[in-house]
Amino acid sequence: MVIDGHSHMLQGYHPCNDLPKSLGDLNDVDVPELLEGLDQLGVEAVVTLAQEMARIREEWLGSNDLAADLQKRLNGRFFAIAGFEPVTRSDQFNRLRFEQVRDLVSSGSVRGLLITPPYGHFQLNDRRAYPFYQLAVEYDVPIYVHQGAMFGPPEKAPQYGAGLWTLDQVVVDFPDLRLNIEHMAWPWSEELLAIMAHGPNVYTDVTTLSARPRMLAWHLTMAGDYGFLDRVFWGTDYVGRNNKAYLERVRQEIEFFRNRLNPILKGCGWPTLSRAQIDGLLGQNVRRFLNL
């Protein structure tokens, strides 16, 4: 079965002063239609990430309360990831967010956390983030990390995602912490693989990379050469709550991995993937990452 290991499904953009708290606040969502569509595509579950972007942008993708409610109400079909920025707009430790995610994690209301340094203009190894990392270790939940290049204006602050030395320090300081580095840390994917060599709890997803199929094929070839292909998984990175648009993206991505990827690999003269390896990319690897 397939698991969308990285999405923001049902988590649209919202200003900080108007965050949805529950599925009931999304009155335009046809849940039976969504679940039926997932069944038809063979999708077992969806991982939906709430994303805090309050420090700079004063907005969220969804909310932590919404993510937890989706996991509760769509039991077994949606798994929630709570977002956090460890630093407030006034450059203080974000105690309010820490207390919230501690309650969510300790109660089992979410399956993991998400941190996005380029959006919040802080470094991944900022010591104010370390209590969140320790919390994740104590409760054995993973953290998704957006660490890589971002397109757009200078406000997107590439210096907060450029290079991976800050990630390397976190990996060394928290060897038991499971991390997923989103988008294969593009364009620093080879650097990420070197970190994965001494960080056995570091995973990566390849969301959005199928748009550059030969580049993705090469990155997967390198992951296979390193022996880390079982720590790579797929996701849509879909944002919003349009069932039709979401299901079409899922269909296209599954089609790519099952039917288009191996011909690209073969045409480039690189090793093709086995059925078991493709099944790992589509679901088994993220199942292991999240301890499902």
Joined together, the tokens standing for residue 36 give 């039926």
pLDDT for the residue numbered 254: 98
Contact 3, 283 (CB under 8 A): yes
Nearest to 125 by CA among 157, 165, 162: 165
* pTM beyond 0.95, yes or no: yes
Report all structural domains of the chain as residue ranges with CATH numbers, in order of start. Answer: 2-290 (3.20.20.140)
pLDDT for the residue numbered 147: 87
Contact 226, 279 (CB under 8 A): no
pLDDT tens digits, 237-252: 999 999 999 999 999 9
Nearest to 32 by CA among 77, 81, 2: 77
Asked whether residue 133 carries a pLDDT value surpassing 70, the answer given is yes
Q: Can you tell me the distance from the alpha carbon of 19 to that of 60, in angstroms, rounded to the nearest whole number?
A: 8
Q: What is the mean pLDDT of residues 221-250?
A: 97
pLDDT for the residue numbered 158: 59
Asked whether residue 156 carries a pLDDT value surpassing 80, the answer given is no
pLDDT for the residue numbered 223: 97
Instruction: Indicate the pLDDT class of residue 56, thresholds 50, 70 and 90.
Output: very high
DSSP label at residue 93: B
Joined together, the tokens standing for residue 254 give 């599954």
Asked whether residue 144 carries a pLDDT value surpassing 80, the answer given is yes
Nearest to 2 by CA among 44, 56, 38: 44
pLDDT for the residue numbered 152: 67
Instruction: Indicate the pLDDT class of residue 154, thresholds 50, 70 and 90.
Output: low
- Tracing tokens 């709570």 back to the chain, one arrives at 82
Angle of the 189-198 helix axis to the 165-173 helix axis, nearest 10 = 20
Q: Looking at the chain, how many residues does it have?
A: 292
Asked whether residue 218 carries a pLDDT value surpassing 60, the answer given is yes
Q: Can you tell me the distance from the alpha carbon of 192 to that of 144, in angstroms, rounded to the nearest whole number?
A: 14
pLDDT for the residue numbered 159: 67
Instruction: Indicate the pLDDT class of residue 70, thresholds 50, 70 and 90.
Output: very high
Asked whether residue 280 carries a pLDDT value surpassing 90, the answer given is yes
Mean pLDDT across the chain: 95
